A and B are shown apart, each in its own frame.
Chain A
Amino acid sequence: MSSTATAPAALSPRARFGRTATDLLAEREDLAVVIAEISAQHLEDAARAHPERVINVGIREQLLVGTGAGLALNGIRPLIHTFAPFLVERAFEQITLDLAHQGVGGVLVGSGGSFDMSGEGRTHQGPADVALAATVPGMVIHAPATSDEVEATLRAAAADTGLHYVRVSDRAQRTQIPADGAMHVLRTGSAERGSARRPPLTLIALGTVRDAALEAARALDATLLSSTTALPLDGAALRAHAGAEVVVIEPWLAGTSLAAVAAELDDAPRRFLGIGTSRTELRRYGTPAQHEVAHGLDAAGLVRRIREWSRPTDSPHR
């Protein structure tokens, strides 16, 4: 098989989805992959080996999710995949009614993130996927940031019976964390800037902004937390490590996770800042890196925005 010749670490996150799905199909007879043409090139070996369990419904996204839900209703664990906006936006009612309302689970895998396909324009960009998925009862939302995290996340989600959304973006990060749902401490801000009354800034990085957030945390001497799970959040770790100023950095719509973070951090008065993609349509092509800069999601943009916002004095009320 052609895909086995490539070392897993060398595969892009999206290609790793295809590889992991192929492996899961071989490992479990009660699992199927449903696609709507997209990523068929990553599933060719799987379709040959398991023609009845790689189901390509053509360019039909309502049917994509409905078919996956029909499989789930009848004891087959579905992996349901297309680009994020086609999956979560176009077929949103199918996600709410065919999966959540019927009381069945499944693994929704949306690829492309907010601007992996920057050159394709707005129609292929999914900055609202996490915000929309978060409205679905019981939905667990994952944003793995490396190829290894993609595989670990998919394996755990497939082994579960619930409803999962896995956001696969090819903006792979250098910094890897365990894909275990926990909030991991990547950096601890020093007490030089902080004090008993004003501990260091706390940055929370969700998704493929981890490297830029780490660089920003160093520049700001901030604490950095990160998790591959965007919902539900690891509240105990948040409460253990968060200071009085909390910045949530996410490469999708700004503010998406702020309410959930704030709800976990209701034990003390704090200030919150949400950094993410802008609600204003960018209307630019170019590269994903250019989009990150345009949204202020590069390290320099993060540092600039957080410095503007932070009040590094001992007085909580200026």
Chain B
Amino acid sequence: MCRIGVYICECGPNIGRTLRLPALVQSTGNLTGVVRVRRVPVLCGREGLDFLGEEIVAQGLDRVVVAGCSPREHESTFRSVLERAGLNPYMLQVANIREQCEWVVRDRDQATGLARRLVAGAVARVRHHEPLLPSEIAVSTDVVVIGAGTAGVRAALTLAGKKRVVHLVERLPCVGGKVPLYEDVFPGMACAACVMDPMLDELLHHDGIRVHLMSSVEELLGFKGNFTVRLLQSPRYVDPEACLGCGACVEACPVRVPDEWNPGLAERRAVAVPYPGVLPSLAVVDPRHCLRWQGEDCRACEEACPFDAVRFEEEARVQEIQAGAVIVATGFDLSDPGRFPQYGYGRLADVITSFELERMLNSSGPTGGRVLRKDGTVPGHAGFVLCVGSRDPRAAPHCSEVCCRYTLKFLHRILAQGAVDRATVFHAGLHLPGGASQDLYRALEGNPSVHFVRMGAPNSAGILEQNGSLAVRFPDEEGRVRSHLVDMAILAPAMEGASGNRELARILHLETGGTGFFDQGITLLDRVEAGREGVFVAGCAAGPTDILGAATGGQAAAGRVLSELVPGETLRLEPVTAGVDETLCSGCAVCEGLCPYGAIERKDDPPRIMVNRVLCRGCGTCAAACPSGAVHCAHFSDGQIAAEVEAMLGREDQGERSKEKGSRIAG
């Protein structure tokens, strides 16, 4: 027989003005199993808690009901009192007679009647409670970082500095993201390679960092402290230990295809060293274009390689990694300006993107740093069109943040090297935060070669061909259509989340916003929150930012991981999970597809399912769906729920009748 103590908290002046407490005490005393009912002025106060602990011991209670405020406020407080008094903390039930009764029901009799039912429900329920023990599991403090751009690399190095094992997953054959492809970088006009190369060198030579190139995350199971990450690595077909990136194979390759590192500017071979200065400096075979995958037995690269580094037999590799946290640093992609036909991108030869200009300006790029029109001539007049897609609710509603500044950078660079005679910037308001970018702007003021022209609205220009030149047309602030002739137009397309972010979001169980960024968890005080415990977002993956913002984001995400996952600390797993009665389970696995955490696994011989208690979070949707009553849910069992419902409806709780498990179908 149970020994239940019921403690009715008056919550100072809060409970008992409407409720008739004497009547509540009296009816509660008649409930099955109740051996003690006490009113307490303030149960959550120091005295109240001590009193409760003493009562449990003195009265030999095995179960406790507290009638008072919402369990949200003090359920955990009272559970620890039970624990200190030698009872299992789950032998408690809280009846919320404050928020859900005293405070909302005005009629004294009705309120008292409702409170009686709430307490009766709690008493009936607690009779079915069972002691539950939490388990402690070790956490992994290893970290998976996705994306090896500025943000991902900063994160990896920060983590490795504290001796964390880092797996840096990059889908490209090289590290560094976009920045190593630029010539110089705002705001200080430093050389991009000078900024990035030392950092990337440190990365590639760090013992604690495993760089997984040409890899993608295919699956993420588990939770903070206990993730299992499945990686798929595509073959490079080149042995990284043997290759030096000398390029002998490249020269031998007979295939020519457009070069995605230099869009519209150059061709590459089917085997290639991505771009000059790339790190790591290694060749890679592209099976989409290599003749061997078109059914021909070409071995040109293999034969040309002085180091026997080519490995046609290499295969894709799947690898499982245990990690405690994940940092998403997948960066951005520029949107395709072809989406807005009025700009003529793709149709008019000398309409290019800012990224293409970066490649032209790069001294080791395809034009050796010279700005050239498609016909090979030097443009006299360059036009920079800002906000191509950005700040337009019909396209990308956000400001891409860096375009105005990189345009100033371009102006300084092309004027310094005399690449053009004249430049005009078509903008809809310049976004130049910070002192250094204001300096960049001021240094151009009064320069007769540079003109800033204001458009009436973002994303409102169009470009037409006119007598061998390009006419940039747009409505000005008064709505009058204006037209300027230029020889080359450089578009600043909106930044959007990296291609593949939506698929990655599905795998990581995150959400992306409308423009593909992982920006849904961000708050005013937290730019690295991804919306899921143990997963963080850094750099442009969270939204447009500059190099400094990306680096800071990487460090911030790493800082969060360092403070949240400490070596040697364990993770306490709540015991409220599902379980299976194998004698009843038919193995139909209806539950398997419903589990949001992949915690249910199907087994054969005999067919049945098993619940992984580490992954299970206790939501109970499996138990609700089980057609044979084999799946049960700790602390929210069918018997506990039914007892509470019956008692609240005024039905006498049928004591020992158990509606758990088999009795439901045996019914």
Partners in one complex: no
Chain B interface (Cβ < 8 Å from any Cβ of A): none
Chain A interface (Cβ < 8 Å from any Cβ of B): none
